[in-house]
Each structure stands twice: as C-alpha cells, then as structure tokens.
Amino acid sequence: MYHIGSFIKGQSLLYNLDPRIKIAATICLSVFILWVKPLIAFVIGSTLLFAVLANGISLRTIGQALKPLLFFIVLIFLVHALFNEGETLFNIPYIGISISYAGLQQGFVVIWRFLCLIIAAILLTLTTAPSQMIAAIKYFLRPLKVLRVPVDDIAVMIMLALRLMPILLTEKERVEIAQKARGYNLQRSGLIIRIKAFLSLTLTVLTGVIRRADELALAMEARNYQRGERTSLVELKFTSPDYLVLIFLGVFLVIFVALNSHFG
C-alpha cells in the first residue's frame, strides 16, 4: 500500500539521478505546471504518466496514492464547474444552479494541474530512497545552520515521521480489527455512534503511537543518538547524467523565463 515515503527499488535514469536534482526539477516542474497554458499542462501530465510507467510504477500505485485526495479533487472540480459564469450548458433542477461550458472546462483544467502536481511528487518519492531524500533536504537546509536552525535534528525528525507513518496505519488497522472482533459493526450504526467510534479509535491509536514513540526514543538513545551533527551513510555525489540534467534544467528555465517575459 502506498503511503508518504514509500519507495520502490528500481533501476532507471530517474532512480539513479542525484536526489538534489530530482527535488529541484520537481519544484521547477510544479511552478511550470501552474504557469503554462492548459494544452502544455496536458502534454506535461501525459509525459509524467509516461515517466511513471517507464519507471515500472503501476497505475494502481498512483490510484492508491490519489485515493485519499479524491474528496478534494471532486470538491475543487465542483467549485469551478458550479460557480463559473459563462454560456449555460444545462441547469440542475430544483437547486437553480446552471453549469456552463467554461465552468466545466475550468474545472477539468484545474484538477488536471492538481493531478500533475501530485503525480510529480509521487514520482519523486517512489524513485528516491528516503535516506537519499533526507540527505538532499539536509543539503538544501544547510545554509540555515548559520541562523542556528537545527538542520540535523530536522532531518532525523523527517526520518522518524516517515518511519512512524506505516506504524500508525498498522496500529489503526489493528484497533479496527480488535473492535470488529468484539462485534463492533459501524456499518449499521448511526452518526453519533460513528463519531464516538472515531474518537475512541483516534485515542487508542494515539496512545499506542505515543507508547511506541517513547520506546523508539529509548532505542535511539541506546544507539548513542544525541541531538546535533551526525555523519551519514548517504554520500551525495553528482555524476555525468546529473550534470546533463542540471544543464538541461538551467537552459530550459532560462528559455522559459525569457519567453514569458517577452510574450507575457
């Protein structure tokens, strides 16, 4: 099952690229996706999907990652489709809201851009080992050390958050199964009972996770963890493909900014 920080080991140019390049490229691409005209956004999205498949990532995985965001995707689409003025395509009976062609078009374009952003982020996390990602974040945050920002501690915090994510999900499933095993059937219950069950589930899961976090802190201490600077297993090194992608990215950005400032 996909969750933030999931990584699928593979071999391709994208997998082997330096994580700093991948993060920089993803940020540039995200700005680009929001900036460009709809047709270009469609081309970018299709290219991203091609990149997903070319790197051996299944569409099912992408579907799993998008599932929790489905509500927001539908909401964003509806807001644009329902509240955009334009030539009426059809009226919704009883409510008195009309849907325009422009609204539908706007809705599709916005969710397409949104999907492109998410797919780019998923592609980044699925093709980059968490340790590589953390090393890259640490690299980018390094200048903040001058301002006494605890960069190394932030890196460890990210690592622990990624580590605790699947534990949190497992804990939730465990409590749900335990509730079901004792005849707790939420499908047949009313709203109040469901809210109560949700609160009880949240409390139990949180208690379990805090207990585990406490034990984890002890285990980290046992392995000599102390706040502050640490060395790393990951050594970030640029190779030839990294330089090529970096040059491509630079040239691309210059052309993009130049064209934009010229043609608006």
Partner 1 sequence: MIILENVHYKYEPEGIEALRGISLQIREGEHLALIGPNGCGKTTLIRHLNALLLPASGKVTIGGCNTDNPKHQAEIRSMVGMVFQNPDNQIVGMTVEEDVAFGPENLHLPTVEIKKRVAEALIRVGISELACRNIENLSGGEKRLVAIAGVLAMQPRYIALDEPAAFLDPAATKRVLDIIDKLHFEGVGIIHITHNMAEAALTQRIVVMNEGRVYLDGTPRKIFGKAGMLKKIGMQLPQITELLIKLKESGFPVRMDIVNMEDALEQIRSLAGKIKD
Q: Are 107 and 89 in contact (CB under 8 A)?
A: no
208 binds partner 1, rule: CB under 8 A = no
Contacts of 153 (CB under 8 A, 6+ apart): 227, 228
Instruction: Say if strands 88-92 and 97-100 run parallel, antiparallel, or are unpaired.
Output: antiparallel
* 159 in contact with partner 1 (CB under 8 A): yes
Nearest to residue 128, comparing CAs of 205, 234, 221, 46? 234
Q: Mask 107-136, x = binds partner 1 (CB under 8 A)?
A: ----------------------xxx-----
Contact yes or no for 15/127 (Cβ under 8 A): yes
Q: Give yes or no for residue 205 binding partner 1 (CB under 8 A).
A: no
Torsion of CA 226, 227, 230, 233, to 10 degrees: 80
Interface residue with partner 1, options 36, 154, 212, 253 (CB under 8 A): 212
Q: Which residues contact 233 (CB under 8 A, 6 or more apart)?
A: 131
* 24 vs 168 by CB, closer to partner 1: 168
How many residues in the shown chain lie near partner 1 by CB under 8 A?
31
224 sits near partner 1 (criterion: CB under 8 A): yes
Binding range to partner 1, per CB under 8 A, among 22-30, 45-53, 111-119, 159-167: 159-167
- Residue 3 burial (10 A CB sphere; 0-12, 13-18, 19+): middle
Q: Which stretch binds partner 1 (CB under 8 A): 53-61, 80-88, 140-148, 230-238?
A: 230-238
Residue 220 sits in the site that holds partner 1 (CB under 8 A):
yes
Among 218, 261, 262, 264, binds partner 1 (CB under 8 A): 218
166 forms part of the interface with partner 1 (CB under 8 A): yes
* Alpha carbons 224 and 177: distance in angstroms, whole number: 37
Cβ nearer to partner 1, comparing 46 with 215: 215
Burial class (CB in 10 A: 0-12, 13-18, 19+), 65: buried
Of 39, 222, 240, 262, which lies in the binding site for partner 1, with binding defined by CB under 8 A? Answer: 222
CA gap 89, 98 in Å, rounded: 7
Nearest-approach distance from CB 67 to partner 1, in angstroms: 19
Euclidean distance between CA atoms 140 and 23, whole angstroms? 10
> Which one of residues 235, 261, 262, 264 is an interface residue with partner 1 (CB under 8 A)?
235
Pick 19 or 130: Cβ nearer partner 1 = 130
Question: Which residues bind to partner 1, rule: CB under 8 A?
Answer: 5, 7, 9, 129-131, 159-160, 162-163, 166-167, 212, 215-216, 218-226, 229-235
